[in-house]
Amino acid sequence: MAKKSSNDSSDGASAYRASSSVDELLLAALERDDNSFQTGRYLVTFKEGAGDEGRQSLGTQGMRVADARDFDDQAAILENIGDADAVVFPEIGVALLGGNAAQERNMNTFAEIATDSPFESIDPEYFVFAENTYSGLLQDSLTQTVPATSAEFLRGFLQATETIAREMQTNGHSQLEIEEEVQVLGATWGLIACKVPPSLRSGTGIKVAVLDTGMDLLHPDFAGRPIVSATFVGQPVQDLHSHGTHCIGTACGPKAPAGSIPRYGIGYRSSIFAGKVLSNTGNSVGGSVLAGMNWAIANRCPVISMSLGGQGGVQPSYTAAGQAALNNGCLIIAAAGNSASSTGYPANSPTIMSVASLDENLSPSSFSNFGKIEIAAPGRNIYSSVPRPTRYGVKNGTSMATPHVAGCAALWAETSPNLRGLQLWRRLQATARRLPFSAARVGAGLVQAP
């Protein structure tokens, strides 16, 4: 692995290093004011099966190359790759390039790629957000009399994250969750709609990776559960946001929480893999998300849940990661997005299962994205775990629908070792409850437990 650089300057050149932090990249994007959500770095997608050749090609061009295999369990933290110009994610066949190192070698979106090159494409890296955080800020921008540029959006995002940070310092926890009175009926409406309570399956033996803002590792509802955790954003896995803990609660929470708390979790005996790919303020970059996807696939997690993304076109790196997952018996399930527009990335990749949100009357949620949709699940007024001391809260979004599908996927995966990858994808769709709406809104319909 490349050595730690002694040059810790914050000048323009250093802002686009492969090891730059998310905050450095956000600030640099604001200074550029170029009306894009690009970070200034690049992602190289290798041709399928050409990963080793691609890594060698980067080296022959004079790049210092780090490899996720340099880290335990391939849990690569970008901030820890030192002075490397690039880092390779071997499971998915993608490399992240520092912006200046790439530009010096004319490796950018304008570069012509030779037919015999191991590279499939070179694309900009984009910022990524927790779906709820992104949609909330987007709606704020839409209320302005003048359409907001992406730079104004990012500036608003930084202001929002500063406010959240101050709240966490003052109160000791995030206040993002909606605190509401929930009528206890034995199980949440989402689990009931998905036919979870009568299912005889528990997710036993199935690894479920949730790539999000981390997890409250000491939440009492998960005491004694097998949890493997890793961070990809230079912060401890402990969730100070709440989004990740909420998603993990739905996908993997307990069958019988203490006291009068309703059942809110599906795969209550599954093995939890908590990957922190979003910071405590809900933001990240494509490289960190891809590092988490690479880790989950390296650990052969049959179910990988991602309630994150952004609005934009299909990105080759995510498509390659989705295909690598399917090839290795894993299924990536991602939130379609909450912008009431076309499905965002990474869910719009053809190799990733996209999830839409349903309201309690089983109609599409007004905020739910549409177009490339594979399946739908409850996403309105979803009760689940959040970090202590609040412990429980209600959230809305395709972010909440996605772990319903992930949890049901774990139950189906338990029924047969043959239900992996594409076979699991097909089973989820084949058994979904049909709904009287177009496939562009709900896909195959409402996900159902076995």
Mean pLDDT of 420-439: 98
Assigned CATH class of 184-442: alpha beta
- Of 20, 67, 399, 404, which residue is the catalytic one? 399
Please give the model's pTM, rounded to 2 decimal places. 0.88
DSSP character for 78?
A: G
Q: Tokens representing 139?
A: 């709606």
Alpha-helix runs per DSSP H in 172-284: 189-193, 243-252
Asked whether residue 145 carries a pLDDT value surpassing 70, the answer given is no
Burial of residue 222, with CB atoms counted within 10 A of its CB: 0-12 exposed, 13-18 middle, 19 or more buried:
buried
Tell me if residue 274 falls in helix, strand or coil.
strand
Peptide bond into 198 cis (omega under 30): no
Mean pLDDT of 371-398: 97
Domain ranges of the chain: 15-131, 184-442
399 is catalytic: yes
Contact status, residue 204 vs residue 269, Cβ threshold 8 Å:
yes
305 is catalytic: no
Q: Tokens representing 127?
A: 């910022």
Mean pLDDT of 146-153: 46
pLDDT at 28 (0 to 100)? 87
- Of 67, 85, 123, 212, which residue is the catalytic one? 212
Distance CA 130, CA 277 (A): 10
Burial of residue 3, with CB atoms counted within 10 A of its CB: 0-12 exposed, 13-18 middle, 19 or more buried:
exposed
216 is catalytic: no
More confident residue, 333 or 34: 333
Helical packing angle, 150-171 and 22-32, nearest 10°: 140
pLDDT at 164 (0 to 100)? 37
pLDDT at 32 (0 to 100)? 81
Cα atoms found within 13 Å of the Cα of residue 39, Cβ hemisphere only? 31
Give tens-digit pLDDT for 45-63.
999 999 999 999 999 999 9
pLDDT at 33 (0 to 100)? 77
Contact status, residue 305 vs residue 206, Cβ threshold 8 Å:
no
- Of 173, 219, 241, 243, which residue is the catalytic one? 243
Asked whether residue 210 carries a pLDDT value surpassing 90, the answer given is yes
Mean pLDDT of 426-436: 98
Share of the chain above pLDDT 70, in %: 84
- List all residues 6 or more positions away from 319 whose beta carbon is below 8 Å from its beta carbon: 45, 349, 350, 351, 352
